[in-house]
Structure 1
Amino acid sequence: MIHNEETKSFLLLPFADTRELQLLHFGLFLAIYLAALLGNGLILTAIACDHRLHTPMYFFLLNLALLDLGTITSTVPKAMANSLLDSRDVSYLVCATQVFMFVVFVTAEFYLLTVMAYDRYVAICQPLHYMTVMTSRTCVTMAAAVWGAGVLSALVHTANTFSLPLCQGNALDQFFCELPQILKLSCSDAYLRELGFIMFCFSSGIGCFVFLVLSYVQIFRAVLRMPSEQGRHKAFSTCLPHLAVVSLFINTVMFAYLKPPSISSPSLNLLLAVLYSVVPPAVNPLIYSMRNKELKDAVRKLIWGMFFSIHKDTFTLQ
């Protein structure tokens, strides 16, 4: 029997067997990771530097960018290293750290998306009370609660999972350390813990999902009653990106964890894992900046400022 203290490493599921495909996977993940770093980094810097964006909506967007950076950093660099080095190994400590970080960021992101829906609800449905409801202290408290919930959830589930004895080998059917895959290796009553984990996530997720749906029903009703076409356009421009991010995140996660076992396969699990752990952090900055004129202008101003700063000496000499 293999127990936790004897397990020195786990074996991750590779994306490809041939060296050419492994290098292709490395290059693809490197491009996605750099895009996520650049996009989220620009949003973080633009919001921090532009005083016009020092509002509750952009404060929460700044936190979302941080969570997206954390989510993709917890999975992609190790996958790239394994592909480059033609390895499947991940040490026990690195695996536990990866599980902890991933649960922190994904859980916190889901709660943050719910908080952001509440912010949009108050801004559109109760605009006269917005500044009294969404004060700086309230926003900071909400953000702290989101991060705290993520850390607490990760502590509970990571400790719960890695306290189990493992007797089903050390091969994981995923490209990163994921709780359900580790639970499958246990020889104790792991299925009860896995069921408890899924039920906890499902119940909290359903609560947030119901709140999101109800919030957006009220939001769209209020927007459609606006007499000004410009007002409706501005309201939609702040709500639709958030709704797109929520839909992408929830649909991929729910399908990945709640799909019928009959359609489960290693290839499908890999694809779904990429869709909910790698793709959203890379595309979220694009989604938010496409329709948000204020954010787009701030990012453009930041890029031009960086460009002129880099080429300042050249322009001076000319």
Structure 2
Amino acid sequence: MDQFDEFEAHRDHLRAVAYRMLGSASDVDDALQEAWLRLARADTSGVRNTRAWLTTVVARVCLDMLRSRTARREVPLDGPLPAESPDPQQEAMLAESVGLALMVVLDNLTPAERLAFVLHDMFALPFDEIAPILGRSTAAAKMLASRARHRVRAAQSPDTDMARQRRVVDAFLTASRNGDFAALLDLLDPEVAVRADAAAAPPGTPSHLRGAHAVARQALAFSHRAAHARTGLVNGAPAILVAPHGRLTTVMSFTFTDSKIMSIDIVANPQRLSQLAIESA
């Protein structure tokens, strides 16, 4: 089997690793292209496990990309995939399997934590193989994964008290309308994250935000639209519906941990809005 066939045989696995590391369809394509170039340049005659070797290469590429990221726009996993994707339907299914809540908490991890957690907990790579990728000891790699695991578990054990969630969402909308920065901070988890689809994030604005202060500032900027907003239910959970002149344009849905807002998903794409179960409260 030549190098190209070897790479293609493992492409689905490598794409899955890169998705969970990067959370951006365009970045995944870049990472796989770089991994292919490294394979093409390398002497792999002594490589006994090509899949493991390529996994390590993709992980190193993704780690470099995570470390070099700035506050630029990204293509969220739940947004439209690039037209050049080899199998958009397959990629969309993969993106759905990752889940928004998990991607939000992964976005909040450091690059090293994210790599250790993804490779070990999701792909069962041993820590003694993860450690050299990170340039850390095996014990340090275990500690990074443990910290990440703790945060992931906290995010996957959300507050399920619907009445309490509704009060928090009502308070968030009121604080946004009133420009009450302190009240917003009190409602947000310190590690809160916001993800907006392309339609909700105009050119020049980030599609991802992290941290209570950054999210509270964005909520204050939202105050001019809050006059057209009301609370409602989206897929059975409390949410904010923005409907100027009675036409729904934006939905903000929330996840909660310990009565605090842990993540906010902002949807404005008409196709995505049409797929949501929306009720006025």
Same fold judged by TM-score > 0.5?
A: no
Which of the two has greater helix per residue? 1
> Which has the bigger relative contact order, CA under 8 A and spacing at least 6?
1
Flag the structure with larger Rg: 1
Give the TM-score normalised by the residue count of structure 1: 0.28
